């Protein structure tokens, strides 16, 4: 199944380390991050789940629920979770999906045959409260993800969903943002009372509108 930005994230019911869940019900009105791992007891995955657990408060602050996925069975997930907690000095308490039949992996096109016939690649999806896919990132199995970048993108997605702005290269929360092309300069001056810096007619900056 080929998914695109703006598609409704496919719903599913599945077994996880936190019990049975219905994906859409689990998300509720929250944002979601769904990310896959090649297998349990692999070193890069161990660090990734540990980092996600350590960033729990950052995800909660942004109203984001996270779910991990591996094609290994539940008993392996539970044992591996103990290793993660021990080695990464954390507490993994978000669901890890036991996708033995690869139903969710296939639903989200997480298995790339040229990379591996059986294991999932490092796919990551950010899903909005409207259940639409806002971001898709795919890493090779050998490269761990940067979860600070995931948080940065979520900050941008949440900001631009509420204001007529875009975020420039290397933007981080608190930096100036770009006025959307859908707003002309006269409207922008009224809309953004903190000021508008017109570099070019199509390139206009304003302080982040949701900060004091």
User: Which residues are known catalytic residues?
Assistant: 45
Contacts 24+ apart (CB under 8 A), 101-106: 102/71, 103/12, 103/14, 104/12, 104/14, 104/69, 105/36, 105/69, 105/71, 106/1
Phi-psi region of 195 (alpha: psi -120 to 50; beta: other; left: phi over 0): left
Instruction: Supply 186's token pair.
Output: 């006269």
Instruction: Supply 35's token pair.
Output: 């990310």
Pairing mode, strands 31-36 and 122-127: antiparallel
Cβ neighbours around 123 below 10 Å, total: 21
């Amino acid at each position: 199944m080929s998914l695109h930005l703006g598609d409704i994230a496919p719903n599913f019911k599945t077994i996880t380390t936190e019990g049975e869940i219905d994906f859409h019900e689990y998300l509720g009105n929250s944002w979601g991050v769904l990310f896959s791992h090649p297998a349990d007891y692999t070193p890069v995955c161990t660090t990734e789940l540990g980092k996600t657990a350590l960033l729990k408060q950052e995800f909660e602050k942004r109203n984001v629920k996270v779910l991990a996925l591996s094609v290994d069975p539940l008993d392996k997930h539970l044992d591996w979770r103990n290793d993660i907690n021990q080695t990464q000095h954390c507490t993994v308490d978000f669901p890890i999906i036991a996708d033995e039949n690869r139903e969710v992996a296939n639903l989200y096109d997480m298995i790339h045959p040229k990379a591996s016939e059986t294991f999932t690649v490092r796919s990551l999806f950010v899903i909005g409260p409207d259940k639409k896919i806002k971001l898709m990132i795919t890493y090779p199995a050998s490269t761990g993800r940067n979860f600070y970048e995931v948080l940065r993108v979520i900050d941008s997605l949440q900001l631009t969903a509420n204001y007529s702005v875009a975020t420039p290269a290397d933007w981080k929360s608190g930096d100036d943002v770009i006025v959307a092309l859908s707003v002309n300069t006269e409207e922008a001056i009224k809309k953004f009372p903190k000021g508008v810096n017109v570099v070019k007619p199509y390139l206009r900056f304003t302080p982040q509108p949701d900060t004091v």
